[in-house]
Homo-oligomer: A and B are copies of this chain.
């Protein structure tokens, strides 16, 4: 039954679209999930996609539109008149998706689309949601939920549910509020089904539900839902009134995006790119970090330039430049990565920064001793110069300790300054550590060559 989206499938679909064979096209799309349709979208030309999305039933087309990558969706919607966007697509979306889609449009288009939404309640919900920052609980939540009052009977509750449930797709919990809309607690559908139908809501619902404020940052929302294994999380305002609810599928996206962002930052990629993007877009995302790397490299060249005389006398000093630079970079990134990850999944514990630095120091001394000894052994055996042997091993040891401490401190500092700690893991720290490491290396060399020559 399940269709595989293969190249053959796509080319068959495209020829059906070209032939304008509506019936056969729809047959090929039958039973496809909106997420599959979104995958097909990226293989089509704009005209094919437009044709297909207008042919599909509006409910499915709207769901597929929500599943598109942000920039694909923006491009697609730019090709449509505001009226079509409002009636064919927005009308069929949940409030949170509608707000996300509209939020990406220019101020002007937003207004036009909103004016074409006939359902005033829906338009109102969307305008409310647009007011929140998209990286907060308010920006993630949907307005669709089922509210009941504690003194209702289960029968009243069920009647109300039947009335409201059509609007709510994913329904696992209903929310209990008082007359002022203050959130009192939650009632699972399971509890509702298993309860005696003569009981009152107040006999069966659970108080003290976890909730977040509209202003709570989305990473914190993700941490809470992940930690407490929640499927939905109610959102309240500053005086406790129920404003909306966040579902786990949106949080899964937040977790994935966060992880990808940190990963891309560590790999020196700016902005969200995919292999399917154009070469120019792919290049542009990399250029900023590469330019920083280039400037760093030029700076390092200037630092080494100060030791040109030493290099003229002892050209073998150059052999180990890449080793020192690479080790400084590697150690620094390792240390930063552990901190960045600890900050991201909130697992740093209650340990003080000082204790962390002491641990890093102990660990770095340990690793430094092992690595420097290995290198010493190699150079004693294969390198002719005793001065070089000492210089390389001693400076490697010092560099490892410095790089580990820097790597630990910098992300913690950035975090305290409310900057993204992941900044520390990119080419930035590699470059800083290169400079520091090579300076230590050449300085050690100058001193040791002197001493060993004198001896």
A residues with CB within 8 A of B: 1, 5-7, 10, 31, 33, 35, 39, 42-43, 158, 161-162, 165, 170-172, 188-190, 192-194, 208, 225-229, 231, 248-249, 251-253, 255-256, 259-260, 262-264, 266-269, 273-276, 278-280, 282-283, 286-287, 289-291, 293-294, 296-298, 300-302, 304-305, 308, 311-312, 315-327, 329-331, 333-334, 336-339, 341-342, 345, 347-351, 356, 359-360, 362-364, 366-367, 370-371, 374-375, 378, 425, 427, 430-431, 434, 438
Contacts and interface: CB of A to CB of B under 8 A. Distances in A.
Contacts of A308: 315-316, 319
A437 B192 CA distance: 67
Given A35-B227, A171-B190, A255-B259, 16 more contacts: A10-B350, A43-B349, A226-B249, A229-B249, A256-B345, A264-B337, A266-B267, A273-B338, A274-B338, A275-B349, A282-B338, A290-B367, A293-B327, A294-B323, A305-B319, A312-B312
Contacts of A264: 337, 341
A75 to B, nearest CB: 16
Contacts of A316: 305, 308
A231 B250 CA distance: 12
Contact of A356 (B269, B275, B342): B275
B322 A297 contact: yes
Q: Is the interface of A mostly helix, strand, loop or mixed?
A: helix
A315 B296 CA distance: 20
Contact of A367 (B192, B286, B345, B371): B286
A299 B359 CA distance: 31
B434 A326 contact: yes
- Residue of A193, A336, A339 contacting most chain B CB atoms (<10 Å): A193
A314 to B, nearest CB: 10
Contacts of A298: 323, 375, 378
Nearest to A67: B227
Given A43-B350, A322-B438, A297 B327 contact: yes
A374 B291 CA distance: 9
A5 B349 CA distance: 10
A431 B172 contact: no
B275 A339 contact: yes
Contacts of A248: 231, 248, 252
Contacts of A296: 323, 326
B269 A337 contact: yes
22 contacts: A5-B350, A33-B228, A165-B190, A192-B193, A251-B252, A259-B259, A259-B263, A260-B341, A263-B337, A274-B342, A276-B347, A279-B363, A282-B363, A283-B366, A289-B330, A290-B371, A294-B327, A297-B322, A311-B311, A321-B321, A329-B329, A330-B427
A268 B333 contact: yes
A360 B278 CA distance: 10
A42 B349 contact: yes
B331 A286 contact: yes
A326 B427 contact: yes
B269 A334 contact: yes
Contact of A193 (B158, B276, B427): B158
Contact of A371 (B252, B291, B300, B425): B291
